[in-house]
Amino acid sequence: APRPDPDTPAPVRYLPAFDNAVLGYQDRRRVIDDAHRGLSVTGARFVLVDGRVSATWTVEGDTVTVTPLRRLTGAERAEVAEEGRILASFLSEGDSDRVEVGAAP
């Protein structure tokens, strides 16, 4: 199959707790910074931005709440919010598309 250009940014992805994309590597530094590696074994749900763990997410009622682990650019915040709306709609079977993206640490 054709491959994208190596400089193509990876799309934002929301990962469930204990996802193999984070746990399946012996060297997790490829996807998660050392400062946040402990989160992977606590069952945190991650948001990947450009292929790296950049936030965690939870669901409270009908809202997906995103907590950034680093400062997100305006474009990254917009993409995280859009993907969060899609997730919220899926989880609520179309009844909600609410997402809140918190402030950077």
In this prediction the pTM is 0.88
The pLDDT, as a whole number, for residue 85 is 96
pLDDT at 26 over 80: no
Per the prediction, the chain carries an average pLDDT of 91
Segment 42-69 mean pLDDT: 94
Q: Are strands 52-60 and 63-68 parallel, antiparallel or unpaired?
A: antiparallel
64, 70 Cβ separation under 8 angstroms: no
